[in-house]
Amino acid sequence: MQPILQTTNLRKVYPPEKKGGTEFVAVDGISFELEPGQILGLLGPNGAGKSTTISMLLGVLTPTSGEISYFGKSFEANRSEILNQVGFASTYISMPWRLTVWENLRIYALLFDIEYTEFAKRAEKFLTKFGVWDQRYKMMNQLSAGQVTRIMLAKAFIPHPKVALLDEPTASLDPDIAHEVRRFVREQREQYGTSILYTSHNMDEVADLCDSVLFLRKGKIVAHDTPENLAGSISKAKVRLQVVDGLKRIERFAREQSLPATIIEREVILEIDEQKVAEFLMQLADEDIHYSQISIDKPTLEDYFLSMSI
């Protein structure tokens, strides 16, 4: 099946800011594909190249080298035709402050060739879904950050795009609205087959939403897999014990076994290879260490993120 979006050896090098300075490689030859209907997460620490990549995919930053194609067509040669099918929302971008929500959305609908009656129908649907229908005649500068974010999402999806590039779309939202947004994103994929490239700093959200994750570091792709497999590549589980008797013994035991341990009052948190948890619990019994509570946290995408971000 032909990918919706494909990059080949995409690279962006910024020139030195001052004479005699060094150039900065923001994106270093990345190649990836976004499949039809796929939600692909773009993860990485600050400065990894996520925003640079999205800017190049939107055509607001010229790549130094490499190719971008959408729907099998060169982005460079078919920019307008392609962007007419691409929606974009970012927490870091706003819309003109001196216009109302309705005026702003009307303008963006026109930029996508959408007639007024169709626009009004879609705008009502999306603004109602995001709980901001009552705000439609307010100026953008009268809205909260969370409301602006929701308006930006409505802007991105009013054209029913084939591809949506969403840059931290839930960053400033309350948990219940963020949950609603995630449900909405899934609905868009299911109803319209929209393919989505999604960046977020919320690992639970990425794990919940994305079919696949690209992990970027220093401009390179260092991993590309499902969230489950990435989390699974971290073998350490976290074992939390509420120790009743034997706190000193468990501290000594952890030191002898070179197990990373954190002790807060009577709670002990140990990082142990998942395969060795059973053996560890038997050793605790042998050492006569008593505990009242135990929980074992399996590795998560966040653990992967933290391990890769160092």
The single-letter code of the amino acid at 217 is R
Q: Is 25 in the site for other proteins (CB under 8 A)?
A: no
Phi and psi torsions of 267, nearest 5°: -95, 130
Among 98, 134, 175, 278, the residue binding other proteins under the rule CB under 8 A is 98
Nearer CB in complex with other proteins: 99/281: 99
- Stretch 57-76 residues interacting with other proteins (CB under 8 A): 58-62
> Which residue carries 């954190």 as its tokens?
262
Which one of 48-56, 125-133, 192-200, 212-220 is the stretch in contact with other proteins (CB under 8 A)?
Answer: 48-56
Contact 166, 89 (CB under 8 A): yes
What element of type H or E holds 58?
helix 50-58
Pairing type for strands 212-217 and 220-225 reads: antiparallel
User: Is residue 96 near other proteins by the rule CB under 8 A?
Assistant: yes
**Among the listed residues 219, 223, 238, the one whose alpha carbon sits nearest the alpha carbon of residue 49:** 219
Residue 26 has φ and ψ, to the nearest 5°, of: -85, -40
> Closest CB to other proteins among 164 and 250?
164
Report how far residue 26's alpha carbon sits from residue 215's, in angstroms, rounded to the nearest whole number: 14
Structure tokens at 181: 């947004």
310 part of the interface to other proteins, by CB under 8 A: no
Q: At CA 46, angle to CA 44 and CA 50, rounded to 5?
A: 55
Q: Contact between 182 and other proteins (CB under 8 A)?
A: no
Binder of other proteins out of 14, 118, 121, 144 (CB under 8 A): 14
* Interacting residues with other proteins between 111 and 150 (CB under 8 A): 111-113
**Which residue lies nearer to other proteins by CB, 104 or 212?**
104
Q: Which stretch binds other proteins (CB under 8 A): 78-86, 237-245, 258-266, 269-277?
A: 78-86
Q: Please identify which residue in 28, 33, 67, 103 interacts with other proteins, judged by CB under 8 A.
A: 103
Decide: is 18 part of the binding site for other proteins (CB under 8 A).
no
Q: Is 26 in contact with 78 (CB distance < 8 Å)?
A: no
Residue 99 interacting with other proteins (CB under 8 A): yes
Q: Find the binder of other proteins among 38, 55, 170, 188 (CB under 8 A).
A: 55
Q: Classify burial at 69, counting beta carbons within 10 Å of its beta carbon; exposed 0-12, middle 13-18, buried 19 or more.
A: buried
Q: Which x/- pattern, by CB under 8 A, does the window 232-261 give for other proteins?
A: ------------------------------
The least distance separating other proteins from the CB of residue 40, rounded to whole angstroms, comes to 18
Amino acid sitting at position 140: M
Decide if residue 154 touches other proteins (CB under 8 A): no
State the DSSP H helix or E strand holding residue 242, giving kind and residue range, or none if neither. Answer: strand 236-245
Looking at beta carbons only, is 157 or 253 nearer to other proteins?
157
The residue count for the chain: 310
CB of 92 to other proteins, least distance (A): 6
Name the minimum Å distance from CB 172 to other proteins. 15
> 6: Cβ–Cβ under 8 A, 6 or more apart, which residues?
31, 32, 33, 34, 67, 68, 69, 70
Binding interface with other proteins (CB under 8 A): 14, 51-52, 55, 58-62, 79-81, 83-84, 86, 88, 90, 92-100, 103, 106-108, 110-113, 155
